[in-house]
Amino acid sequence: MAARKRNKERDRLATSLASSLGASLPDSGGSYEVSSAFVLPERRRFLGTWVIAEHTVEGLPYIDSFAASILRGASLAEPSYASLYDFREALCVKRVMIRGLVELPEGRAEFSYRMSAAVSWELERGFLVVRPELAYQSTSLDGKPAAVKELSFSGEPTRLAYRFERGGLLLEEGADLKFLTRGES
Amino acid sequence: MSASLKSLGLGIVAVANQKGGVGKTTTVIQLASGLARGGARVLAVDGDPQGNLSLFFGRAEGRDLSDLMGELLDGRVPGIDGYLASKVREGLDLLPATHRRLRRERSDADMLRAAPAFASLLAGLRERYDWILVDCSPSNGALERMLVRACEAVIVPLEFQLFSVAGLQSMLDDVNACTAEAGHGIRVHSLVFTKAENRVARVESYREVFSAFRIPIFEVCRSEYIPRSLERSRTIWESGPSSYAARDYARIIERVFLE
């Protein structure tokens, strides 16, 4: 029991020491690569369902940039945002749902947005590389469909830096930062 | 993505950590021989008076680094060929360490006095070799300072262990001090966790912490091939080229050196 406690304390000390190294190590844009012997286990860490806990773009809540792009600047009152990632061996299914109240010339309306995408995914040099296979989005106003469309892709994969931290998964694509936690499908 | 040593134009590389047993010599053996197998001209410098790198390549006697330092201290600029073990592998030469008493034979003051001439000598060899890899001993004395000052970049092998991680901070401080003494930049280019294991809580904690750093960090898995191949003086490319450890070293060669 005492030995286990000592080991725990030693590990805590080592982790704390390692954390303090950050200021001394140069920032050369490198990343962490696990041994090729453990790549499969690394991939396994992704499997299952994750939900968005935090999502920012350039430090601001994602919902703000969403309103700027999809609603062309109209504000979204009382917004709710949920996003789910279901990682399977070959594919990851992503679902996004955003709701809120939008001001229109004819008055306030309930707005909802849904997006579903199936992407193939790989781990490569410390990056999560995703290739969209199929995706569509739909919007509705006051419960009535406003637009449905299949999304087109450039064919280029998207590379997201990732790391597991705070018991969750951090995904980074430029200024877009997502922190996912384990969820139920 | 970070820049490789090749793209940065850095060719003299110390493999250093003042902590012992972290895999410095093993790393030099595999990287130097791997680079040479790929067609590069490589010089491995055994900077550890224990001489394990030299023993591995079958050079236990003869003129060595200590003799070379003697010449440098006498103000001579020796021809390097008389000190080298040539072609310890195709494309790979070795500057050995066969005098285990090097630290007794050469004082700290001697080593620091020899440092500029030694650095000039290695810099002059860059025309002859694509890569010069320096195996440093597990200490932070004058010998190691002389060796690191002669280098342009440092690769730090370490283990998932408290002492190893604690030593890293001192290592970084030493490299900064060497940079100031040398008057040229010495870049800590990458870290290599050797003997990596999986499914160990401690390892997971380290991975989580180190993943946040933006420096190339690699793992080489613990492999039975490595001690077995070292016993037989065979590189991982000769004894287990398809092993995970070989793949890990191949990836380091590609990413750190060649990309």
Per-residue pLDDT reduced to its tens digit, B63-104:
999 999 999 998 887 788 999 999 999 999 999 999 877 778
Distance of residue A106 Cα from the nearest chain B Cα, in angstroms: 49
pLDDT the model gives residue B247: 92
User: Do B211 and A41 count as a contact with CB atoms less than 8 A apart?
Assistant: no
Instruction: Count CB pairs under 8 A between chains A and B.
Output: 121
pLDDT average, residue stretch B43-60 = 94
Task: Report how far residue B6's alpha carbon sits from residue A15's, in angstroms, rounded to the nearest whole number.
Answer: 33
Bigger pLDDT: A4 vs B117: B117
Which of the pair, B222 or A2, is modelled with greater confidence?
Answer: B222
Give B255's DSSP letter.
I
CB contact under 8 A, B217 and A24: no
Measured CA to CA, the distance from residue B66 to residue A173 in angstroms comes to 52
Tell me, what's the pLDDT at B106?
83
Task: State residue A40 phi and psi, 5-degree precision.
Answer: -60, -50
What chain A residue is nearest to B174 in terms of C-alpha separation? A24
Of B188, B201, B217, the CB nearest to A33: B217
Tell me if A91 is assigned to some domain: yes
Residue A21 vs residues A17, A142, B209: alpha-carbon distances, Å? 7, 53, 10
A165 min Cα distance to partner chain B (Å): 6
A28 burial via Cβ count (<10 Å: 0-12, 13-18, 19+)? middle
Residue A26: the pLDDT is 79
User: Which residues in chain A have Cβ-Cβ distances shorter than 8 Å to B168?
Assistant: 21
Say what the pLDDT of residue B161 is.
83
**CB contact (8 A) between residue B219 and residue A30:** no
**Does the interface predicted TM-score (ipTM) exceed 0.85?**
yes
The CATH class, in words, for B5-258 is alpha beta
Q: Could you tell me which residues of chain A have a Cβ less than 8 Å from any Cβ in chain B?
A: 10-11, 13-15, 17-22, 24-38, 41, 125, 163-165
Q: Per the CB < 8 Å rule, is B216 touching A28?
A: yes
With beta carbons less than 8 A apart as the criterion, state whether B175 and B186 touch: yes
What tokens does B150 get? Answer: 């002669």
- Average pLDDT value over all residues in chain B: 91
Residue A6, token pair as written in the block: 């000592």
Compare all CA atoms of chain B with the CA of A21 and give the residue at the minimum distance. Answer: B169
What's the confidence (pLDDT) of residue A107?
84
The pLDDT tens digits for A114-157 are 999 999 999 887 789 999 989 999 999 998 888 888 888 777 89
Q: Write the CB contacts of A117 (distance below 8 Å, at least 6 apart in sequence).
A: A93, A94, A132, A134, A135, A136, A151
Q: How far is B252 from chain A (nearest CA, A)?
A: 10
Residue A163 located in a structural domain: yes
Smallest Cβ distance to A30: which of B196, B199, B217?
A: B217
Q: Tell which B residues from 200 to 239 touch A, by Cβ distance under 8 Å.
A: 201-202, 205-221, 223
Measure in Å the smallest separation between the Cα of B259 and chain A Cα atoms. Answer: 13
Instruction: List alpha helices for chain A, DSSP H.
Output: 2-20, 39-46, 62-70
Give the residue numbers spanning the domain of A160. Answer: 34-182
DSSP structure string for A52-101: EEEEEETTEEHHHHHHHHHSTT--EEEEEEEEEEEE-SSEEEEEEEEEEE
pLDDT given at position B164: 81
A129 occurs within a structural domain: yes
Distance CA B1, CA A129 (A): 14
The domain locations on chain B are 5-258
| Domain count along chain A | 1
**Mean pLDDT lowest among A88-102, B23-37, B98-112, B224-238:** B98-112
Report the Cα A105 to chain-centroid distance in Å. 34
Q: Are B169 and A10 in contact (CB < 8 Å)? A: no
Chain B positions in Cβ-Cβ contact with residue A165 (cut-off 8 Å): 208, 211-212
Low pLDDT (below 70) residues in chain A:
1-4, 6, 10-15, 17, 20, 185
Whole-number Å distance between alpha carbons of B78 and B120? 12
The dihedrals phi and psi of B128, each to the nearest 5 degrees, come to: -90, -30
CATH, residue A173: 2.40.128.280
Q: What is the pTM of this model?
A: 0.74
For the segment B212-230, the average pLDDT, to the nearest whole number, is 90
- Examine residue A2 and state whether it is found in any structural domain, yes or no: no
